[in-house]
Amino acid sequence: MGIGQGWPPIEVQAGHCHAAGSRRRTIGRDQARSLLSEGIRAGAHCRPDTDLGVLG
């Protein structure tokens, strides 16, 4: 989650990722796919876009 009003999402991480920061919340697979397809970046360590089949 980002900083500021409403804490907008800035990155999608897999649930097991060690790089996920302290400002996070759990989302479902469908919402993760949606955020990735909208241009929210995927975590570089865990690559959730690959696991979810969202490449681009």
CA-closest candidate to residue 43, choices 11, 5, 1, 21 = 11
31 in any annotated domain: yes
2 in any annotated domain: no
26 in any annotated domain: yes
Report the domain count for the chain: 1
CA distance from start to end of the chain: 22
Q: What is the pLDDT of residue 33?
A: 93
3-state secondary structure of 36: helix
47 in any annotated domain: yes
4 in any annotated domain: no
Q: Confirm whether pTM is higher than 0.85.
A: no
The b-or-e profile of 14-42 (16+ CB within 10 A means b, else e) is beebeebeeeeeeeeeeebbebbeeeeeb
Q: Per residue in 17-46, pLDDT tens?
A: 888 778 788 899 999 999 999 999 999 999
Integer Cα distance of 51 and 48 in angstroms = 5
